[in-house]
Amino acid sequence: MPSTGAPDVGSRSSQLTRAPARPPDVRFEPSPPEVVDAMLRLAAVGPDDVVFDLGCGDGRIVIAAVAELGARRGVCVEIDPALVARARHAARRAGVEERIDFVEGDLFAADLSDATVVALFLFPDVNLRLRPRLLGQLAPGTRVVSHEHDMGDWRPEKVVEVGGHRIYLWTIPPRDEPPP
């Protein structure tokens, strides 16, 4: 998180035993606070934004967007119910739970149409599988920011390095342009 460090996710959520509906596409690996900050700055998150994090883990990216940068709303999409509980707990502690929707479900089934910013920290093959959904559901001008992994031949507009971590930025093109 920008300036405040990682959210305190508590230990109660680790007591949950319900398994995800299917195995997650990636294992949970939290983005360091300086990477979260850089992702949100690169995507130019502001008060008019609705920030989605697909595979949100403990929710730190969306929580930072809402709590620190004043994003209008956030949406955490996560298939693991224990991580959804951790994200909800962290949002409650940050005082922003009422401005974040928590979707326990498959990131490939989520309705992305409200997003103005989408954050990702997935694997390269997952990014590539997700790319057609991003291009098909997101409005032109929506920013997509990814920690560590690119989108194949879709060239990013910007790439920055923070503490040895690479961050990519794309903007959804106008509908009359050929897809990247």
- Write the pLDDT tens digit of every residue in 144-160: 999 999 999 999 999 99
Tokens of 52: 């989605």
Question: What are the residues whose beta carbons fall under 8 Å from the beta carbon of 60, sequence distance 6 or more?
Answer: 1, 6, 7, 30, 31, 33, 36, 90
Specify the pLDDT at position 15: 44
CB neighbourhood size of 47 (10 A): 8
SS3 label, residue 165: strand
Q: Tokens 């479900």, residue?
A: 105
User: Which residue is it, tokens 């998150």?
Assistant: 45
81: which 2 tokens?
A: 């119910």
Does 106 score more than 80 pLDDT? yes
Sheet containing 73-78: which strands, arranged edge to edge?
100-104, 73-78, 50-54, 117-120, 143-147, 165-171, 158-162
Q: Report how far residue 2's alpha carbon sits from residue 33's, in angstroms, rounded to the nearest whole number.
A: 6
Sort 132 into a burial class: Cβ within 10 Å, 0-12 / 13-18 / 19+. exposed
* Residue range 74-88, pLDDT digits in tens: 999 999 999 999 999
Average pLDDT, the chain: 89
* DSSP code, position 174: P
What confidence tens digit (pLDDT) does each residue in 13-69 have?
344 457 767 776 777 888 999 999 999 999 999 999 999 999 999 999 999 999 999
Query: In 3-state terms, what secondary structure has residue 149?
Result: coil
Fill in the amino acid letter for 129. Answer: R
